[in-house]
Amino acid sequence: MAEATHRSSLIGRIRARLFGLAIVLLLVALTAISLYSLSQFEHDLVPEMDRKAAAVGESLAADIVRAVDYGVPPNALKGMGPFLAAGMEGHPEIRYLAVCDGEGAVLYHAGAAVDGVLAHFRAVAAGGAAADGRSVRVDVFYDTAVPITARAGAVGTLHVGVDQKFVQKTLEDIVLDILIVLLVSLLVTFELLLFLITFNISGPIETVTKLMTRVENGDFRHAMESRSKDEVGQFIAAFNDAVGLVHDLYRGMVRRADAYRQATGDELRTARRRMVAALRQLHDRFAFADAPKPAVYRESTLVDVRTPLFIFVFAEELSRSFFPIYVRDLFAPVPYLTPEAVIGLPIALFMLFVAIGTPFAGAWTDRYGNRPVFLWGAGLAVVGFLGTALAFNLYDLMAWRVLTAVGYAMATMACQGYIVAITTAENRARGMAVFVGAIMVAAICGTSIGGVLAERLGFRATFFLSAALALVAAAFVHQVFRRRESGPEAEQPKVTTREVLILLRNPRFAVMMLFGAVPAKLILTGFLFYLTPLFLHELGNSQSDIGRGMMVYFAIMVFGNPLCARLADRFRVRAPLVTAGGVLAGGGALVVLLWHDTAAVIGGIAALGLGHSLSTAPLLAMVPVVCEREVRILGQTMVLGVFRILERIGSVAGPFVTAALAGLFGFAEAMAGLGAIVLGSTVVFTLYFLIAGSAPPRPATRPAG
Amino acid sequence: MKLTTKITVTMVIIVLFAVVVTTFLNYSKYQATLSDLVRSRFVVVALDLKHTIESSVNLGMALEETENIQDVIDRLRGKHEQIRSLAVFRVSAGKGAAVFDTERAGVGRSVPDHWMHALDRSEDGVWHAVDADAFVVGVSVVNSFDKLVAGVALRYAKAYEQDKVAAMFRRLSAAGAVVFAVVAGAAFAGVFYFFRPISASFARMTHSLQQLFSEEEPPLTEANAATEEEARFVRFQRKTHAVIEHLLEADEEMHNAEREG
């Protein structure tokens, strides 16, 4: 209690100041850069848009000039309406095209009404405004005037009106992107900040403060390791000297008493008794280390695991936005599989081997400890990433992805094991929140930065970078994780077929899995991981755009999921939230069918993020309620473990189901198909739980007597 | 290294990292947007040429007979200084051979394989590729039966885009450097203001603890402890002092026992 109070004072103040100062500085710096970037972009890009408008105008003007040169009077050209309308096709930003005579009167026109710009047309004709290819903002348009000059002389002017909203929207898109950049930079920096501050500054202060409190309570068993030469390091050295002096004095007395252990003769025995009495008196009041030196105290923190986990998952997420496109580039036919299914195969295999590898990795963690399992896992992932980068064709790519998947399962399970080992039942939820938080933040940053990197460096180079990052994560763990960090408390229950069968006999659990959890994973891998990169690529989006688009899901999840979890706990509504989540996720995917464009896909991703934010935690919270009897038999951890394993069926099946749909109907239709599956499942789920209720009926109690 | 220096260095590293990441990502965004805009402008030019060729082809003329095409591409080349070359090539059996080219030496030559690869993969008839010295935008030319008969390839100088991108990079880097310098200065001031009292407190506590081993009274006592932490330290110090006294007394007792024994 005293330790906690103390921490909240000094450490709390230090952390608040460090993070407060860092966040203020970062926000100021990044906002300044972002605003400057935006102004520069506007300065450079608006003229570039003008040039395009001028190019369209010149192209059309050239045809008009040709007709006039053939002798057709400018005011007697035939079919100009359709001609101009055709000229606007493929350029959604162009709202009107107008051909004016030498006086500025409109001869021909297509597109939006130009009543508001007639005065400008006349001004251009009169020479009062430029006709030099630079745009002028008039009414709600940017008007670019292109002179029409035939062999006989000036004929008139062709005006190209670009929607002002389009220019604004392009700039707004850039602003949005810059905000995303700002968010990603802040998140990545925050991870770095957390690590640097915890390891260099607040961690040592926190530990020495804790040890001082222990000494206050008479505990002299621990010293601290510090190589730092700053004021805190010097203080730790002085602290160690003090504890060392106490320890040496005590050890000297113990040695002296030991020397009398074999003493014979009354006087010597009396002397020994007096010595032992003196030592006992000390023992009653103080605690000393029973070793030649005080033990070096080292505290494990959640940051130990957060930083390497973040780096490792970040490495894997770097390829999220382009992986299906990379697979398509390495395409090789596989007997009995459609091309779409072949593209989905490496994703499905990855999910499958993560699912298979997870229980094994858990067992290895218990047996060998977190550190070696993480290091081996990271090693496998490094080889997997390198192999993926150098893959010759689809077949070896699949082998490398399997290796990466096993490595991923091992590394993440080792991190989970570490958290279990260093937390207690009271603070384990917080520990797991750190675990999930690190994965989500890594997904946000990795997906968006991966898109940018792939665009600039190429797919293969990005995989090399992933390998390097996995190595960095391993180096962290090598330095930070203790050699052995698992105790009896860290033991994980083993899932066998028996437990799975016991649970599946519960119809509520089976319905929840089949129509709630599995479809949720199915749409995640199918819609987000498989279809989104391919469809957005087909729609002409760059890798960066795809990365940023996919990031939306994780960004919504990272903020929405904890919020919805709190709501579910507070109001005790679970099944309705799962229903709402399913409707949102499925409905969002279904909507893609209506528009077939980037905005619809991004909308679908956002709906998926919102839907999963609503449903993920309530679904998990339903498990102990639905499986009340099984929890009593198998324990809650086991039941949740089975749930976690079974829901991965959806992850594995996702790419295959999606590939089948995409092969038959196309990408947008496949997205809608997944939406329909989720909506249908949600209907069954809702109806079942409305009728049957969440909790199983209690056995009727016999009347007393 | 002093605590304040260490914190300042940490802050500066973090700010530097954030500034570099943000600048890099913004720069990438600019490059992608500019690239799209420039490309779409040249696609307009290429499409214009495509329509001209298709009009002739649809009148039943063979591609080689449309003599005005050479004039058209020469004119376009002269009009847009960023265009390095424009070529119209016949497509046959998956191969392309230039029929018209603003660089006369190119006429009759096979077009590069990566152009044909890009053309094959294009779904809307517009494709793009990258040559060593130029970006390429291309469009497919189809006859009235919608059969691919030719292609238009417009090569525009990388330098135009690269110069703009490089200029933007310089501007963003300069802005990043200025922002970094200002914020680093602010970090130094902020750390000095917020953390100097804490580091001074640790220095005082260290000094006081070192005095514990001398006969003198430790300089930090309950009376002059400035903060709650220093008060706590004084209690720790007193406890340590007490245990040392205790140990010395016990030692004395053992010594006596030894002597008497």
* pLDDT exceeds 60 at position A700: no
Residue of A nearest to B34 (CA): A45
pLDDT at A417: 81
Query: How many Å apart are CA A409 and CA A468, to the nearest integer?
Result: 18
| Domain's final residue, options A165, A186, A219 | A165
- Report the CATH number that the domain containing residue A82 is assigned in CATH: 3.30.450.20
Residue A488: pLDDT band (50, 70, 90) is very low
Same domain, A566 and A636: yes
B93 three-state secondary structure: coil
More confident residue, A261 or A225: A225
In a domain, A558, yes or no: yes
Query: Which tokens is A166 given?
Result: 């389009």
pLDDT at A482: 64
In a domain, A380, yes or no: yes
pLDDT at A461: 92
* pLDDT exceeds 90 at position B122: no
In this complex, is the C-beta atom of A44 within 8 Å of any C-beta atom belonging to chain B? yes
Same domain, A317 and A341: yes
| Domain's final residue, options A145, A165, A185 | A165
Same domain, A520 and A477: no
* pLDDT exceeds 90 at position A407: yes
pLDDT at A490: 45
Same domain, A406 and A475: yes
* pLDDT exceeds 60 at position A705: no
**How big is chain A, counted in residues?**
705
Residue A487: pLDDT band (50, 70, 90) is very low
* pLDDT exceeds 60 at position A3: no
- Averaged pLDDT for residues A21-34: 86
From chain B, the residues in CB contact with A22 under 8 A are 11, 14
In this complex, is the C-beta atom of B196 within 8 Å of any C-beta atom belonging to chain A? no
Residue A576 — φ and ψ, nearest 5°?
-60, -35
- Distance, in angstroms, between B233 CA and closest chain A CA? 7
| Domain's final residue, options A467, A489, A511 | A489
- Report the CATH number that the domain containing residue A449 is assigned in CATH: 1.20.1250.20
**How big is chain B, counted in residues?**
261
CB A304 within 8 A of CB A438: no
The DSSP string of A245-291 is HHHHHHHHHHHHHHHTTT--SHHHHHHHHHHHHHHHHHHHH-B--SS
* pLDDT exceeds 80 at position A508: yes
- Averaged pLDDT for residues A105-111: 90
Same domain, A567 and A454: no
From chain B, the residues in CB contact with A456 under 8 A are 28
Strands (DSSP E) contained in chain B are 83-92, 95-101, 126-130, 134-142, 148-157
Query: How many Å apart are CA B177 and CA B170, to the nearest integer?
Result: 10
Residue in B23, B32, B239 nearest the CB of A216: B239
In this complex, is the C-beta atom of B145 within 8 Å of any C-beta atom belonging to chain A? no
Residue in B175, B212, B260 nearest the CB of A36: B175
Residue A1: pLDDT band (50, 70, 90) is very low
Same domain, A525 and A645: yes
Q: Over pLDDT 70: what percentage of chain B?
A: 97
The DSSP string of B27-44 is HHHHHHHHHHHHHHHHHH
In a domain, A271, yes or no: no
pLDDT at A267: 66
User: What was the ipTM of the complex prediction?
Assistant: 0.81
* pLDDT exceeds 80 at position A241: yes
Same domain, A550 and A514: yes
In a domain, A200, yes or no: no
SS3 letters for A468-514?
HHHHHHHHHHHHHCCCCCCCHHHCCCCCCHHHHHHHHCCHHHHHHHH
Nearest to A455 by CA among A394, A533, A339, A520: A533
pLDDT at A132: 62
Residue A677: pLDDT band (50, 70, 90) is very high
In a domain, A274, yes or no: no
Same domain, A311 and A437: yes
In this complex, is the C-beta atom of B32 within 8 Å of any C-beta atom belonging to chain A? yes
pLDDT, tens digit, 9 for 90 and up, residues A573-600: 778 888 999 999 999 988 888 878 888 8
Domain count, chain A: 3
Nearest to A185 by CA among B180, B16, B167: B16
Query: How many Å apart are CA A698 and CA B177, to the nearest integer?
Result: 69
Residue A133: pLDDT band (50, 70, 90) is low
CA-based torsion, B185, B186, B187, B193: positive or negative: positive
* pLDDT exceeds 80 at position B86: yes
Residue A99 — φ and ψ, nearest 5°?
-105, 125
A97 three-state secondary structure: strand
In a domain, A113, yes or no: yes
Residue B82 — φ and ψ, nearest 5°?
-80, -15
- Kindly report which listed range (A17-21, A177-181, B110-114) carries the lowest average pLDDT score: A177-181
- Kindly report which listed range (A80-84, A482-486, A648-652) carries the lowest average pLDDT score: A482-486
pLDDT at B136: 93
pLDDT, tens digit, 9 for 90 and up, residues A431-480: 777 787 888 888 888 888 888 788 778 899 999 999 999 999 999 898 87
Sheet strands side by side (includes B83-92): B95-101, B83-92, B148-157, B134-142, B126-130
* pLDDT exceeds 50 at position B14: yes
* pLDDT exceeds 60 at position A7: no
Same domain, A418 and A541: no
pLDDT, tens digit, 9 for 90 and up, residues A477-486: 988 776 444 4
Average pLDDT, chain A: 82
Residue A316: pLDDT band (50, 70, 90) is very high
What residue type is B200 in one-letter code? Answer: A
- The domain of A560 spans 493-696
Query: Which tokens is A491 given?
Result: 């033991």
pLDDT at A429: 65
Query: How many Å apart are CA B164 and CA B157, to the nearest integer?
Result: 12
Residue in A17, A90, A235 nearest the CB of B195: A17
Query: How many Å apart are CA A509 and CA A35, to the nearest integer?
Result: 52
In a domain, A289, yes or no: no
Same domain, A404 and A526: no
Q: Which residues pair with B87 in a beta bridge?
A: B101, B153
Which H helix or E strand runs over B118?
helix B113-121
CA-based torsion, A104, A107, A110, A114: positive or negative: positive
pLDDT at A540: 76
Same domain, A431 and A455: yes
C-alpha to C-alpha distances, A17 to A202, A389, B228, nearest whole angstrom: 11, 43, 17
In a domain, A218, yes or no: no
* pLDDT exceeds 50 at position A402: yes
CB A517 within 8 A of CB A430: no
In this complex, is the C-beta atom of A598 within 8 Å of any C-beta atom belonging to chain B? no
In this complex, is the C-beta atom of A256 within 8 Å of any C-beta atom belonging to chain B? yes
- Distance, in angstroms, between B96 CA and closest chain A CA? 23
* Alpha carbons within 13 A on the beta-carbon side of B245: 8
More confident residue, A457 or A610: A610
Same domain, A594 and A470: no
Query: How many Å apart are CA A61 and CA A81, to the nearest integer?
Result: 14
